[in-house]
């Protein structure tokens, strides 16, 4: 309890709520660097400056809230409202470019898998909304997706901090580096898999002709 009071005195009440807000906004603006803040919070938890359970909880809540909001925006065509502002039009173009680059999926497993490709979180929920899948199916993607996404990023900072004993800043930088390499590896694997599938479909189509 004393550690929590000291934390609030040092950081104030702003850090964790701000993290939840930025994580939610990242669903709409994929390049927004909330991932850095999440990894840093894991490193701070490893250093004893933030309670780990609270870090995971607010990150999961922010991720889930943003994902559901993005899904609802595309499912109910609320983009017409966003198009009244320039930032809304830019956001729409950005999400669509991300969805095209990552590739669409038409199964729940596919929607869950593409979340781990860079930019795939937004592409997954935007695709779910455009496909108009039911709320139950969308939640079956959003809930486990938010939990795993949060555990992964918080874990990068926390495990790095506990295993290296480095200061939070150094642990955050190491975690960012590891996360970036893993993300690139997944992107390369996913891209090659898509190309192989496309080649198989093309050959099958040519054989039918």
Q: How confident is the model at residue 20 (pLDDT cuts 50, 70, 90)?
A: very high
pTM > 0.95: no
> Helix and strand tally (H, E) in the chain?
10, 0
- Cα–Cα distance measured from residue 34 to residue 25, given in angstroms and rounded to the nearest whole number: 8
CB neighbour list of residue 42: distance below 8 Å, 6 or more residues apart: 52, 55, 153, 154, 155, 156, 157, 158, 159, 160, 161, 175
**Each residue's pLDDT tens digit, 198-207:** 565 555 555 5
**Each residue's pLDDT tens digit, 153-175:** 999 999 998 988 888 888 888 88
CB neighbour list of residue 147: distance below 8 Å, 6 or more residues apart: 60
CB neighbour list of residue 187: distance below 8 Å, 6 or more residues apart: 117, 118
What are the sequence ranges of the domains in the chain?
Answer: 13-199
CB 161 within 8 A of CB 169: no
- Cα–Cα distance measured from residue 83 to residue 92, given in angstroms and rounded to the nearest whole number: 8
């Amino acid at each position: 309890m004393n550690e929590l009071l000291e934390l609030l005195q040092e950081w104030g009440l702003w850090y964790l709520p701000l993290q939840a807000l930025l994580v939610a906004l990242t669903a709409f603006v994929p390049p927004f660097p909330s991932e850095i803040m999440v990894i840093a919070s894991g490193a701070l938890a490893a250093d004893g400056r933030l309670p780990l359970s609270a870090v995971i909880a607010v990150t999961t809540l922010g991720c889930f809230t943003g994902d559901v909001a993005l899904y609802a925006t595309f499912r109910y065509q609320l983009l017409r409202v966003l198009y009244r502002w320039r930032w809304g039009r830019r956001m729409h173009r950005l999400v669509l470019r991300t969805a095209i680059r990552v590739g669409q999926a038409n199964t729940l497993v596919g929607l869950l898998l593409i979340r781990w490709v860079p930019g795939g979180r937004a592409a997954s929920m935007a695709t779910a909304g455009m496909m108009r899948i039911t709320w139950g199916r969308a939640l079956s993607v959003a809930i486990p997706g938010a939990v795993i996404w949060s555990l992964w990023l918080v874990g990068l900072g926390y495990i790095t901090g506990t295993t290296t004993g480095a200061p939070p800043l150094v642990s955050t930088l190491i975690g960012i580096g590891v996360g970036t390499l893993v993300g690139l590896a997944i992107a390369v694997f996913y891209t090659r898999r898509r190309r192989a599938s496309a080649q198989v479909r093309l050959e099958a189509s040519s054989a039918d002709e």
